Structure 1
Amino acid sequence: MANNSISLLELNQKIKQGIEGLFPFPVWVVAEISELNVRNHCYLELVERDESTDRIVAKSRAMIWSYTYNLLKPYFETSTGYELSAGLKVMVQVEVQHSELYGLSLSIKDIDPNYTLGDMQRRKQQIIQQLKDEGILEMNKSLEFPLVPKNIAVVSSEKAAGYQDFIEQLTSNDSGFKFHIQLFPAMMQGEQARFTIMQALENIYCYEEVFDVVVIIRGGGAVSDLSCFDDYELAAHVAQFPLPILTGIGHDKDVSIVDEVAHLALKTPTAVAAYLVNSFESRELEIFSMIESFAVAINNHLDEQQDLISGYYNSLKYTLPSLLKETKQELATIAKDLNYILQDKLSFAINRQEHLKQKLQYALKHQKVKECEQIAYLERKLVHRTQQYLTKKEDDINHKMQLMELVSPQKILERGYSITIFDGKVVKDATKLTKDDEITTQLAKGKIKATIK
């Protein structure tokens, strides 16, 4: 067994020979860059993930010699607009190498930027389709844009040149429109950008009723700086936000997913400012047009009324005398008829009054007799009830006096009972008396004095 063993170096040499025999020429490999460090040469870690679970299923070390790296890096970044960095999916041409000392490694010789662009576009389309399937892709676009967007919440970096340009354009507009602007600071590039932008949106949501629109703006920069705006979670926040959102992310070539879901996407911050000013100008023109139309309508109406009044005046001018004469005759007739009617009514009223007077006198006389009879009846009833009451009370008093007489001390003594008195008080408990105490016993007739022995 021992005679068949080989050294570790021999084993690694055989592995190297086997690998170099299997891969005598460079091969194209698709992988994701999970780590990238540049120390003269560029050192990478390439991985492959399971599409359904995102679990890493393969991993390998790779490197780009400095000379090759200095050629590939600008070529890739110029072609894609993205910096060669961790997180990108790439197609690279590699030589498969095996070192007896360091093991397996891949030496990158070339890179295909078109694959990375295609993969990024594919991922963008997947996110857009997901937003569409969830029914939120067009939600922000469907919101009604305010007629006068005066109160504006801005999501940007305070130091960004794009933000300063936006403020200058908005506040220095030729029409002199005044805007109320509130900045909600956020990072506009880098790994943390999407989180700070979402936090800014959540802060604005707390004051939703204060603002008319939300503006997300940034200055120009590399295409790779826009990667945060292709994030699903950020896009979902923007799509479902209850206020219209305008974007001015500052890139002419590419449209981000956030641009796709926003109410309106404009190229630059100054374009957003111009759009807001134009909204005011359009509304101002509409108001001026309405005022002008209203003034014309009022003047036309006044002219029509003037013509109508003139026609009435001319008509009355000729018909008024005869109309007055006819009216006087009608009034005289009405007055005569009214006089007859009033006389009839007055006569009827006098007769009715006399009748009611007689009826009232009769009723009063009859009522008086009835009341006298009622009073006599009540007097008799009162006398009877009083006598009954007094008799009952007298019987009650006699009964109570008899009861009092039966329970009087003298009656009790006459029935054979006695009362023992000590020291002026009635004795109720014999145990409280002591030797030599002098007591008095009261009988029905006479008293007995005694001494306790």
Structure 2
Amino acid sequence: MSPIRLSDLAFTLEAVIDEAFGQKAVWVVAETSDIKNYPDRGYCFLTLVERDATSGTSGRDTLAKLDACVWRKNYHTISDFERETGVAFARNIQLLLLVSVSFSPVYGLRLEILKIDPSYTLGNLERERQQVLDTLVQKHPDLVWLEAGQYITANQLLPRPSVMQRLALITAPNSDGWRDFRHELAQNPFGYDFVVDEYLTQVQGQGAERAICSQLERIRSSELAYDAVVIVRGGGSQLDFGSFDTYLMGHTVAGFPIPVLAGIGHERNVSITDLLCHQSVKTPTKAAAFLIEHNRQFEESCLILRERLRVVTREAFQTAREDLDRETERLRFVSQTYFRACHTNLAEKVVTLRHLDPSNVLRRGYALLLRNGRILTQTADVQPNEILQVQMYDGSINIVVSHS
């Protein structure tokens, strides 16, 4: 068999591929790799691969690999995809792509990406997320369970301190999230003081989940009496956000013995960490605002109680004053009545005493029989021929007893 020229082979391949795929577009599922993006020029080169799903999560065999590109006319599909999904267009993402197939005798086979289906990516993310939640409920029913369609966790049921003042902060050093959170706490209009111990670590990207969980374990083993653990991060892509959607994070947060507050800076979706922590807010700034407002509510309740105490005390004093005035008046009336009765009784006794006064009795014709100044009242006490004295009103006389 005589050889053919390379160009003839290339032109033949071009004709065959053009006949099979020319003027056509096909949907393919592939994983991104080796991305070279040029936003200022409006085009992107990358490699699309398919790996063997049966060979495990690491070291999977590559089944197919093709070069692809996005030209200027369709470059907007990248930003459209990122906007709708919140996922950065990066390597190792499985996508559903509408592509056209072309072959150049010089540049070889290439796929031109015409469109990226965001719903496929969102569906994948949601399926993976739901699988994690289902596994947590099945394996750890004491930490995570479903109740009326809502996920309930042991961390959510922890009693919330009346005042959250001593905090453990997990965040990246010198990050926007760190600055926003600290600034909001420091500038609170009520002058509240917070004690914040920082546990600085990586909070996004590969390995972030283990780094965060390692810091949570440090907090647990410290045995310090923290009122809450706060996890914050600044903005980022859905891919960066993935560390908060993992089984390890969900299990650690759901069973953590201190209330966990998450302010991980993602407006679009609710992560597994958001679902299972004690309290979730959207941003680091809102996490700080939540703590300030929580403490403000306690202060307001104290102010309300103080006002109630003031009113109750004033009313109690008023009631006591009225009761005292009433009892004082009653005592005055009872005293006057008592002293009036005593006066009347005393006056009656004075009259009686006057009537019983011996001088007054003698004045009425009575006389007293005396022996040596002692009054005799019985005849048996009198002896014959005895000399006795008779006391009359105007004087006394001596008498001799003739017989007894």
Task: Tell me which interval the TM-score lies in, with the shorter structure as reference length.
Answer: 0.5 to 0.7
Shift of 1:215: 1.0
TM-score scaled by length of structure 1: 0.60
Please tell me whether the aligned partners of residues 208 and 243 of structure 1 are also in contact (alpha carbons under 8 angstroms): no
**Does the 8 Å CA contact 1:249/1:268 hold for their aligned counterparts?**
yes
Q: What residue in structure 2 maps to residue 27 of structure 1?
A: 26
Q: Tell me how far 1:71 sits from its aligned partner.
A: 5.8
Question: Are the aligned partners of 1:60 and 1:106 in contact in 2 as well (CA < 8 Å)?
Answer: no
Paired position in structure 2 for 1:254 = 269
Q: % of aligned pairs identical? A: 27
Residues 94, 173 of structure 1: CA spacing in aligned structure 2 closer, same or farther, 3 A cutoff?
Answer: closer
Tell me the equivalent position of 1:109.
113
Structure 1 residue 266, shift from structure 2 partner: 1.3
Which residue pairs with 1:141 in the alignment? 156
Amino acid aligned to 1:128: L
Query: What CA RMSD, in Å, does the superposition of the two structures yield over aligned residues?
Result: 3.9
- Greater gyration radius: 1
Q: Which amino acid in the other structure matches residue 36 of structure 1?
A: D
Whole-Å separation in 2 of the counterparts to 1:315 and 1:186: 78
**CA distance change for structure 1 residues 94 and 127 in 2, over 3 Å: closer, same or farther?**
same
Identify if the C-alpha distance between structure 1 residues 97 and 47 changes in structure 2 by more than 3 Å, giving closer, same or farther. Answer: farther
2:376 is matched with: none
For residue 290 of structure 2, what is the aligned residue in structure 1? 275
CA-to-partner distance for each residue in 1:255-312, whole Å, 9 max, x for gaps? 2221121222212211111111112221111111111111221222222222323333
CA distance in 1, matches of 2:212, 2:327: 72
Q: CA deviation at 1:16?
A: 6.9
Q: Describe the shift of the 1:278–1:21 C-alpha distance in structure 2 as closer, same or farther (beyond 3 A).
A: closer
Change beyond 3 A, Cα 1:38–1:46 = farther
Aligned partner letter, 2:69: W
Q: Match of 1:122?
A: 127
CA contact under 8 A between 1:138 and 1:261: conserved in structure 2?
yes
d(CA) in 2 for partners of 1:43, 1:305 = 89
Correspondence 1:3-42 to 2 at 5 A: 24=21, 26-33=25-32, 35-38=33-36, 41-42=45-46
Q: Name which of 90, 99, 106 aligns with 1:85.
A: 90
Paired AA for residue 245 in structure 1: V
Q: Equivalent residue for 1:263?
A: 278
Contact 1:31 1:48 in 2 (8 A): no
Contact 2:156 2:277 in 1 (8 A): yes
Q: How much has 1:199 moved relative to structure 2?
A: 1.3
Asked if 1:67 corresponds to 2:71, the answer is yes
* Residues 366-403 of structure 1 deviation map (CA, whole Å, 9 limit, x = unaligned): xxxxxxxxxxxxxxxxxxxxxxxxxxxxxxxxxxxxxx
Q: Look up the SS of the partner of 2:27 in the other structure.
A: strand
Confirm or deny: 8 A CA contact 1:246 1:265 kept in the other structure.
yes
Instruction: Point out where structure 2 has 5 or more consecutive residues left out of the alignment.
Output: 38-43, 145-150, 343-404
Q: Provide the C-alpha distance between the structure 2 equivalents of 1:229 and 1:268, rounded to a whole number of angstroms.
A: 14
Q: Report which stretch shifted further, 271-280 or 177-186.
A: 271-280
The structure whose residues are more often strand, as a share, is: 2
Cα distance, 1:320 vs structure 2: 4.2
Task: Look up the equivalent residue of 1:123 and give its one-letter code.
Answer: E
Q: Any stretches of 5+ residues in structure 1 without a counterpart?
A: 327-453
The number of residue pairs the alignment matches comes to 316
- Higher fraction of helix: 1
Deviation of 1:200 after TM superposition, in Å, equals 1.4
- Provide the residue aligned with 2:209 in structure 1: 194
| RCO higher in structure (CA 8 A, sep ≥6) | 2
Residue 156 to residue 233, structure 1, CA distance change in 2 (3 Å): same
User: In structure 2, what is the Cα distance between the partners aligned to 1:119 and 1:147?
Assistant: 41
Distance, in Å, in 1 between the alignment partners of 2:173 and 2:225 is 21
SS of 1:145's partner is: coil
> Which of 181, 187, 190 in structure 2 is aligned with 1:172?
187
3-state SS of 2:65 partner: strand
1:192 is aligned with what amino acid?
G
Supply the distance in 1 between the matched residues of 2:330 and 2:84 (Cα, whole angstroms): 89
Query: 1:50: Cα distance to partner?
Result: 4.3
- What is the DSSP-based 3-state SS (H/G/I as helix, E as strand, rest coil) of the residue aligned with 2:306? helix
2:305 corresponds in structure 1 to 290
Return the match for 2:226 from 179, 201, 211.
211
Contact residue 32 and residue 46 of structure 1 kept, 8 A: yes
Deviations 1:205-259 (A, max 9, x none): 1234421011111122333321222222112211221111112222222222211
1:154 aligns with 2:183: no
State the match for 2:332 in structure 1. 317
Query: What amino acid sits opposite 1:291 in the alignment?
Result: R
- Distance, in Å, in 2 between the alignment partners of 1:74 and 1:295 is 62
Kept after mapping to 1: 8 A contact 2:71/2:112: no
Distance 1:59 1:299 in 2: 85
Q: How far has the Cα of 1:150 moved from its partner?
A: 0.6
